[in-house]
Structure 1
Amino acid sequence: MTLPKLHHIEMLVAVIDNGGFGAAAAQLGATQSGVSYAVGELERQLGERLLVRARSGCTPTAAGARILPKARQMLELAAGLAEDARGDTQALSGHVRIACFRSVATHLLPNALETLGTRHPQLRIDVDDSYEERAEVEQALREGRADLAVAQLPVGPDLVQRPFVSDSYVLVLPAGCRVQAGAGWAQFAALPYIQLNCSGALAVLERCRAAGFEARAARTLATDSGICALVARGLGYSILPRLAVFPEPSGVQVVDLPVEARRSFVLGATPAMARDRAVRAVMATLRERRILERNEAVRRALVSW
């Protein structure tokens, strides 16, 4: 069997990460037809369809999803060949700025930052976790205020993206509130509804409305911590990302939503910064499974990847 070509693998991964051939071609500086041909050749070599092609974009088939981890590993190993040849893999230095939400910085970054500090003591990493709106995280990359972001999907196709983790939106209720399975939204009618004012939460609200949720916001707040403080006092209930309510504050309980609503994250960077050696090292470390599994939120299955 002829071995797959590395640039064919790179193009497959780019198509999956970007959701289509056009965006992958733009990322790689290739033509769309060239990317399509390379993926087709790889499929013929492996004897399996690797992509589901649709007007809305491309997603991996079961076979594509199975080979994706090894494909990424091969690309990471290839990227490190030049560094190994120079013998400077332990001399990584520089400054990497990460943009993210507070809940991400609190629950998903500390173990990775600890590992990076041990591996690369000359590498400085700053984290700006002040962002409340997903569009602002993206904008920080484009304006050069951040080198790497933990960004919430959807993310613009002009950015290089690597899958990271996801969590669910949940109902956040006062601890003393009785919840009856199957009773629906009406059981919360006596409580004021408190809305988190961000695009992700507003999109989830629309999904809930389509499933029969009729409550109108009695209050709107910009931060999940502020909402949790009100809920703990019995002043209402809300819909928040699961990671934002972990660990559950005193006086608060968390209940699954009647509808499925997830928040998915990617590690994002501009094409130029994605080629930076320090950014690549940080990105790879953040995605290391054994490091992710040291996080309590991951061990409790509150986030998945």
Structure 2
Amino acid sequence: MTAADLAPQELRILVAVADEGGFSAAAARLGATQSAVSHAVRGIERKLGVVLFERGRFGARPTAAGERAAAHARRVLRMLQALAADARGADTGEIAGPLRIAAFRSAALHLLPPVLRRLAEHRPGVEVSVTVVRELGAGTAGEVAAGRADLGIATLSGPPPAGLVAGALLEEPYSLVHPAGHPEPRALPLVDWAENCGSYTRTWWAAQDWIPAATVSAEDDGAVLSMVGSGLGMAVMPALSLTGAPPAVEITDLGPDRPYRRVGYVTTPELAATDAVRALIRALRSVTLPTPGLPSLERTKDQLRAV
């Protein structure tokens, strides 16, 4: 027997054990017995010829092979769902079924709501779920690669990870943010957060001798805005993070050499061809954002149709 002999139920068991971290929890999730789940996993490992889980008092921890196998299993199971939904849609003309989105915080707060309203209006059969993911490490693209999301709203700073496809949506400029009315905002201490200043701005950032090392590190961009509004310092932030900025802060243009952050989507080649993901991408491209610091949004959308 080979991997080609794996049945969908075996893939569900593999994913459940990887997600739950143990055979007992996976069995409870699947409505099966622990012995049945354990036996099934041993059978999957024989078919693949690799050990997928480390067993111990801690439960069942995926090996590197197990992580890779679980990611493939999630994606295969998702495509089986898409197969059924798209086949029905070909007969009825309706786009329906689940659609899982991973997005970083400011995109989830300010980019997605008008997009999802438009999608709900035109494609009411699509069932959307959104997970907010910190754009650190693997970030939203990692959720897509692992099969936990169908599409990720991501910051794009180069080619997408292997096995994924990407498209750019907009470029958002960075601005100086400081307490309103402060006479010397550049003299204030820096408030920052871990997701800020990725590779797309690092060169610019390093050349600015007026930007000190951060003296206050916040959890996210919302906390940064609150601290700046309270007079604790200044910050350099991208436009999406400044949507709905409180009146206690002032936003100052950094000039013609200001850095930009490219925001786009990532998905898998197979999901990019499904009706639900295609509908979402169309909605993403059609929405105009009234975002501070994005005067050229339509221009950048036209220029950045693909990465």
If the TM-score is normalised by the length of the shorter chain, which range does it land in?
0.5 to 0.7
2:227: which partner in 1?
230
Counterpart check, 1:219 vs 2:216: yes
Q: Distance in 2 between matches of 1:103 and 1:85?
A: 33
> Post-superposition shift, 1:157?
5.0
Question: What is the identity, as a one-letter code, of the residue corresponding to 1:273?
Answer: L
> Post-superposition shift, 1:228?
0.9
2:206: which partner in 1?
209
Question: What is the identity, as a one-letter code, of the residue corresponding to 1:146?
Answer: A
Q: Distance in 2 between matches of 1:161 and 1:150?
A: 10
Q: 1:87-130: per-residue Cα shift (whole Å, max 9, x none)?
A: 532x2111011111222122222222122212222210111134
> Post-superposition shift, 1:198?
2.1
Q: Distance in 2 between matches of 1:257 and 1:244?
A: 16
1:11: which partner in 2?
none
Q: Distance in 1 between matches of 2:91 and 2:244?
A: 44
| Contact 1:171/1:239, CA 8 A, preserved across alignment | yes
Q: Distance in 2 between matches of 1:142 and 1:128?
A: 15
Q: 1:139-192: per-residue Cα shift (whole Å, max 9, x none)?
A: 00011111011111123253111221120111111112126xxxxxxx623x21
Q: Distance in 1 between matches of 2:218 and 2:171?
A: 23
Q: Distance in 2 between matches of 1:202 and 1:194?
A: 19
Query: Residue 291 of structure 2: which of 294, 297, 302 is its match?
Result: 297
Unaligned runs of 5+ in 1: 1-81, 180-186
Question: What is the identity, as a one-letter code, of the residue corresponding to 2:267?
Answer: A
Post-superposition, which runs of at least 4 consecutive aligned residues in structure 1 deviate over 3 A? 82-87, 199-203
Query: Residue 262 of structure 1: which of 254, 260, 273 is its match?
Result: 260
1:96: which partner in 2?
99
**Scaled by the length of structure 1, what TM-score is found?**
0.62
Aligned sequence identity (%)? 28
| Contact 1:147/1:269, CA 8 A, preserved across alignment | yes
| Contact 1:93/1:278, CA 8 A, preserved across alignment | yes
1:170: which partner in 2?
175
> Post-superposition shift, 1:205?
4.9
1:147: which partner in 2?
150
Q: Distance in 2 between matches of 1:203 and 1:160?
A: 19
Report how many residues are paired: 211
Alpha carbons of structure 1 residues 250 and 281: separation in structure 2 relative to 1, 3 Å: same
Alpha carbons of structure 1 residues 95 and 159: separation in structure 2 relative to 1, 3 Å: same
1:124: which partner in 2?
127
The CA RMSD over aligned residues, in Å, is: 2.8
| Contact 2:239/2:292, CA 8 A, preserved across alignment | no
**Scaled by the length of structure 2, what TM-score is found?**
0.61
Counterpart check, 1:114 vs 2:117: yes
> Post-superposition shift, 1:85?
10
Question: What is the identity, as a one-letter code, of the residue corresponding to 1:262?
Answer: Y
2:272: which partner in 1?
274
Q: Distance in 2 between matches of 1:299 and 1:219?
A: 24
